[in-house]
Structure 1
Amino acid sequence: MNPNELSLLVVEPSDLQRKIIIKELKQQGITKVVEAKNITQAYDIAEHNPLDLITSAMYFDDGEALELLHKIRNNPTIASTPFMLVSSEDRREHLEAFKQSGVIALLPKPFTSSHLTTAIDTTMDLLSTDELELEYFDVREVRVLLVDDSRMARNHIKRVLNNLGLLKITEAADGSEAIKLLKENMFDLVVTDYNMPEINGKELTRFIRSESGQSHLPILMVTSESNDTHLANILTEGVTAMCDKPFEPENVKKILYKILED
């Protein structure tokens, strides 16, 4: 897929900012662009037009971008549409919900051309199939346990994994459900969120390494955590690799290739 094949919706209340974003998109070779000023317009367009990507500001006169994202994710016909946030908002608590909802990118405002290029590349990766070629595994037979308390995040991660050829995916909504599944089934890989209620990713890792009977399992920890001390503590529990949210396909592919082939 090439950028000029992409169909985008730009949701931005400022006429000037929309023009700036559209100009940047054209410089990336993207010309199939429709516009919306608010959530109501954006959802109506998304519902009635096939889109490859929605790029949205944070705040509107009729609500916030998270409301638009949730409406889209709860509509089965458009739920898988990639969503990118462009905002000057930098407070972690405001951005966390977007990370947990499976956005493909969080771009600062103003953003640079390199920021946009990365986001567009991620979109194209998400829309295409690029199966892992493994020496020791048939990638389609790899049994994956995917653990995340956010259904939207699970859907996004599952889509990325499916595009890489990982088709045998069992989902768990939290760490306690994951432990039950580990007691009853064998897996080849665990992909887990860090921040979860009751039993978090660190505690789940500890169980796998010391109590599960599958202590050898490679564990990919997916986290939006930015605290260096917390990250260091996670690694000491025996995590094989870590990956940031948003869950970027190209980065995930490199990580999975390494941990499954080592």
Structure 2
Amino acid sequence: MELSSLYVTVIEPSKVQRQIIKGHLNSFGIEQIEEFKEARPALNHMLASPPDIVLSSMHLPDMTGTDLVTQMRRLEALQNITFLLVSSETHYRYLEPIRQAGAIAILPKPFSREEMGFALRSTLDYITDFESENDNDDYEALNVLIVDDSSLSRKYIQQMLESLSIHSIKTAEDGSQALELLDQGERFDLIITDYNMPNIDGKELTEHIRTYSEQPTVPILMMTSEQNESRLAAIQNAGVSALCSKPLSYNTVKQLIEQLVTDF
């Protein structure tokens, strides 16, 4: 599959911005592009003709990009479609739900052709792996635990793992539930956990696993949208094997898992 074969839906109120986005897409050979000014007509069209990727602005006339991706994740026909936000928005209140719902990238306005190219190639690899009938013998025996208080995020991560032929997956809503599974004797080859969670967060979970659990060396991949340098340093010091920023890039997650599994 090539970039030129991608079918893209663009949702952007500004005609000028739509033309800019289309120009970048055309530069990669992508010609199958549907344009919309509002989200609801786009949703109706996507249900009849699902695209490979949705590029949407944050602030739309009829809803926000957050509302849009949340609705998509609740519809069976659209829940696996990759979502790319194009926005100058920086407020945590708007961006965090997008990250939790599994946006493949958040591109700033203005964005470069290189930034879009990275997001498109990550999308292409995700689609190729998701549709591939070939099992990955390196990963299919892995037993993985996903820990995240967002059900949308857990589902998105699980879909990523299944694209890598990882099917032995258990989930926990926070660090407390994860520790219950570990205390029950569950053994995992990899733990993927969010940082910000109620009850027991990712840092506390990591510290407990490294200090008190029966599998203190299990690889732990931590996901976070945290920007504070001192907090990031504290996460690293807790003993995480790798730190991954949200929104999750499929290629980045794939490379990190390969690295962690090989090292382990």
Q: Which interval holds the TM-score relative to the shorter structure?
A: over 0.9
Query: 1:226 maps to which residue?
Result: 227
Cα separation, 1, equivalents of 2:111 and 2:165: 33
Query: 1:17 maps to which residue?
Result: 17
Cα separation, 2, equivalents of 1:207 and 1:194: 14
What code does the residue aligned with 2:188 have?
F
Query: 1:235 maps to which residue?
Result: 236
Task: Spell out the pairing of 1:110-259 with structure 2 (5 A cutoff).
Answer: 110-129=110-129, 138-184=138-184, 185-259=186-260
Give CA deviations for 1:169-199 in whole Å, capped at 9, x if unaligned: 1111111111111112111111101011111
Q: What is the CA distance between 1:132 and its match in structure 2?
A: 9.6
Query: 1:47 maps to which residue?
Result: 47
User: What is the aligned residue count?
Assistant: 259
Cα separation, 2, equivalents of 1:214 and 1:182: 9
Query: 2:6 maps to which residue?
Result: 6
SS of residue paired to 1:62: coil
Q: What is the CA distance between 1:57 and its match in structure 2?
A: 0.5
| Distance change (3 Å), C-alpha of 1:246 and 1:132 | farther
Give CA deviations for 1:117-168 in whole Å, capped at 9, x if unaligned: 011011112112288978xxx4211110111111111122112222223221
CA RMSD of aligned residues (A): 1.6
Asked if the contact 1:12–1:36 (Cα under 8 Å) also holds between the matched residues in 2, the reply is yes
SS of residue paired to 1:195: coil
Ranges in structure 2 where 5+ consecutive residues have no aligned partner: none
What code does the residue aligned with 2:60 have?
F
Q: 4+ runs of 1 displaced by more than 3 Å?
A: 130-134
Asked if the contact 1:209–1:216 (Cα under 8 Å) also holds between the matched residues in 2, the reply is yes
SS of residue paired to 2:140: helix
Compute the TM-score of the two structures, normalised by the length of structure 1: 0.94
Cα separation, 1, equivalents of 2:108 and 2:221: 27
Query: How high is the sequence identity, in percent, across the aligned residues?
Result: 39
Q: Which moved more, 1:40-49 or 1:197-206?
A: 40-49
Q: What is the CA distance between 1:31 and its match in structure 2?
A: 0.5
Q: What is the CA distance between 1:114 and its match in structure 2?
A: 0.5
Cα separation, 2, equivalents of 1:220 and 1:198: 19
Matching of residue 93 in structure 1 with residue 93 in structure 2? yes
Give CA deviations for 1:54-107 in whole Å, capped at 9, x if unaligned: 000111221211111111111112111111100111223321111111000100
Asked if the contact 1:205–1:237 (Cα under 8 Å) also holds between the matched residues in 2, the reply is yes
Cα separation, 2, equivalents of 1:69 and 1:21: 19
Compute the TM-score of the two structures, normalised by the length of structure 2: 0.93
Cα separation, 2, equivalents of 1:69 and 1:57: 11
Cα separation, 1, equivalents of 2:248 and 2:18: 26
Asked if the contact 1:132–1:257 (Cα under 8 Å) also holds between the matched residues in 2, the reply is no
SS of residue paired to 2:17: helix
Cα separation, 1, equivalents of 2:82 and 2:257: 22
SS of residue paired to 1:139: coil
